[in-house]
Amino acid sequence: MANTKALKAIYDFYDKFLKGTPLACKKGCATCCTTNVSVTSLEVEYILDSGLLTKSLQEKVREAAAQDHFVPSTTINTSAAMCLSENQMPEETSPVTFDPCPLLTNDGLCSIYQARPFSCRAMNSETLCTEGGEAFMAPFLVTVNLAMYQILEHIDSRGWYGNLLDMLTLVSGNREGLQEAADTMEGKIKTNRPLPCFIIPPDETMRFKSFMRRLSKVEIEGGKTVGDLLPENWQILS
- Read out DSSP for 176-227? T-HHHHHHHTBTTBEE------EE--GGGHHHHHHHHHHHHT-B-TTS-BGG
State how many domains the chain has: 1
Domain-embedded: residue 54? yes
Domain-embedded: residue 2? no
Domain-embedded: residue 235? no
Residue 89 pLDDT exceeds 80: no
The gap between the terminal CA atoms of the chain, to the nearest Å, is: 34
CA distance 163 to 161: 7
Q: Helix H segments across the chain? A: 4-18, 41-50, 55-65, 76-84, 118-121, 139-155, 164-173, 178-184, 205-216
CA distance 13 to 148: 11
Residue 126 pLDDT exceeds 80: no
Domain-embedded: residue 209? yes
Does the pTM surpass 0.95? The reply is no
Domain-embedded: residue 3? no
Domain around 139: 10-229
Domain-embedded: residue 58? yes
Residue 176 pLDDT exceeds 80: no
Residue 220 pLDDT exceeds 90: yes
Question: Mean pLDDT of all residues in the chain?
Answer: 88
Domain-embedded: residue 4? no
- Asked whether 80 and 197 are in contact (CB, 8 A), the reply is yes
Residue 1 pLDDT exceeds 50: no
Question: CB neighbours of 87 closer than 8 A, spacing ≥ 6?
Answer: none
pLDDT tens string 26-46: 787 888 889 999 999 999 999
Domain-embedded: residue 234? no
CA distance 134 to 93: 24
